[in-house]
Structure 1
Amino acid sequence: MSNKPIIVFEGIEGSGKTSHIKNVEKYLKKNNKKFIKIREPGGSKNSERIRKLILDNKSTFNNTTDLLLYLAARSENISLLKKHYKKKIILLDRFTDSTIAYQHYGMGVKLKIINFINNYLLKDIKVDFTFLHLVNKKNLQLRLKQRKKLNRYDKFNFRFYKKVQDGFIKIAKKNKKKYSLIDSNLDFKLNKETIIKMINKII
């Protein structure tokens, strides 16, 4: 594994992934490690514009359009990824696994289509390690209620989120060595320590 890896934080809404990636960001800054952090969709000017479209509560895109918008947002980040690949640590708040988990396992879009476009966009860019955050129904609902503003993807029913989370788990099981499953129902500080220890091993 490269000492300038791509590290991805995945999970459904309310799983704590964004909070943990922020902690890792602070840790890397404190230790003078060169890195960039990108969220998906988002990360670049045009990708952020697409993000607003996707998450807007007034948007009513069909499942295929949703997929293509996510991939368009990723396409806008490719030059940024290529620029820093193997030169800096790259932290990603969601990436290709999210596309498969949400659009394939959650919405039923054919996996071949997703894989074909992802492979076309990424070519030789490979993820080195993924933290998959898991959350139960009770905590998911509690955390979403605590949010000041909900976007379109915060408003699905639990059945959908379960399909997506189960999809994430299936993806992780195919390559266990490159995944760490984080039980977000446990104490936040405990998970924080676990993730930082793993980060030290990775970099």
Structure 2
Amino acid sequence: MSKKPVIVFEGIEGSGKTHHLNKISKYLKKRKLSFIKIREPGGSLNSEKIRKLILNKKSNFNKNTDLLLYLASRSENIDLLRKYYKKRIILIDRFIDSTISYQHYGMGVNLNLIKNINNHILSNFKVSFTFLNLVNHKNMIKRLNLRKSTNRYDNFKKNFYNKVQKGFIKLSNKNKKKYQIINSNLDIKLNEKLVLKKIEKLIR
């Protein structure tokens, strides 16, 4: 594996993925290792504009428009990602698996459509490793209630999040060597150590 891997943090709302990504970015800074981090949707200036549109509680897009907006956000990031691909460690908060899990498994968008557009945008850009954070519904709701503000994707029904999380698990089962499952219902300090231990191996 590249010493400058592309590392993705995936999971449904309230699963702790962003927490772990931020912890790892602090660790990399402390070690003075070169890296970039982005979030999806978001990242570049144009992607952040699209993010506001997608997540706005007043937005009411159909499922295909939702998909195309997410992929448009990714398209706006790809030049930045390619610029640093294999040159710096790349940390991404949500990526390909989120698109498939939310839009296909959650909303029922055609999987081939997602794959075809995604492959066209990304070409030879590949993810090295993924941390999949899993959380039960009770803890998810508890954590969302602690947030100062929520967005449109924080307010779906329980069944939707169940379908999305099962979708993530299906994707991880296809290539277990490139995934680490993090049980976010466990003590967060324990999980921080698990993530850090794996990161050290990935960048060694």
Q: What percentage of residue pairs aligned between the two structures are identical?
A: 67
Matching residue of 1:198: 198
In structure 2, give the amino acid aligned to 1:191.
N
In structure 1, give the amino acid aligned to 2:130.
T
Alpha-carbon distance, 1:34 to partner: 0.4
Cα distance in structure 1, aligned partners of 2:135 and 2:150: 18
1:103 equivalent to 2:142? Answer: no
Alpha-carbon distance, 1:199 to partner: 0.1
Cα distance in structure 2, aligned partners of 1:36 and 1:132: 20
Matching residue of 2:54: 54
SS at match of 1:9: strand
Alpha-carbon distance, 1:197 to partner: 0.3
- What per-residue deviation string (whole Å, max 9, x for no partner) do you get for residues 62-85 of structure 1? 000000000000000010001000
Matching residue of 1:44: 44
In structure 2, give the amino acid aligned to 1:164.
V
Cα distance in structure 2, aligned partners of 1:120 and 1:147: 36
Cα distance in structure 2, aligned partners of 1:22 and 1:38: 11
Structure 2: which 5+ runs fail to align? none
1:131 equivalent to 2:134? Answer: no
In structure 2, give the amino acid aligned to 1:44.
S
In structure 2, give the amino acid aligned to 1:189.
K
Alpha-carbon distance, 1:148 to partner: 1.1
In structure 1, give the amino acid aligned to 2:201.
K
Q: How does 1:48-197 map to 2 (within 5 A)?
A: 48-197=48-197
SS at match of 1:77: helix
In structure 2, give the amino acid aligned to 1:173.
N
Cα distance in structure 1, aligned partners of 2:193 and 2:33: 18
- What per-residue deviation string (whole Å, max 9, x for no partner) do you get for residues 27-85 of structure 1? 00001110000000000000000000000000000000000000000000010001000
Matching residue of 1:7: 7
- What per-residue deviation string (whole Å, max 9, x for no partner) do you get for residues 105-154 of structure 1? 00000000000001000010000000000000110110111111110000
SS at match of 1:76: helix
- What per-residue deviation string (whole Å, max 9, x for no partner) do you get for residues 166-198 of structure 1? 000000000000000000000000000000000
Cα distance in structure 1, aligned partners of 2:125 and 2:149: 34
Cα distance in structure 1, aligned partners of 2:48 and 2:80: 14
TM-score by length of 1: 1.00
Cα distance in structure 2, aligned partners of 1:13 and 1:50: 19
Alpha-carbon distance, 1:13 to partner: 0.1
TM-score by length of 2: 0.99
SS at match of 2:61: coil
In structure 1, give the amino acid aligned to 2:120.
Y
Cα distance in structure 1, aligned partners of 2:73 and 2:138: 32
Which 4+ residue blocks in structure 1 deviate beyond 3 angstroms?
none
Matching residue of 1:21: 21
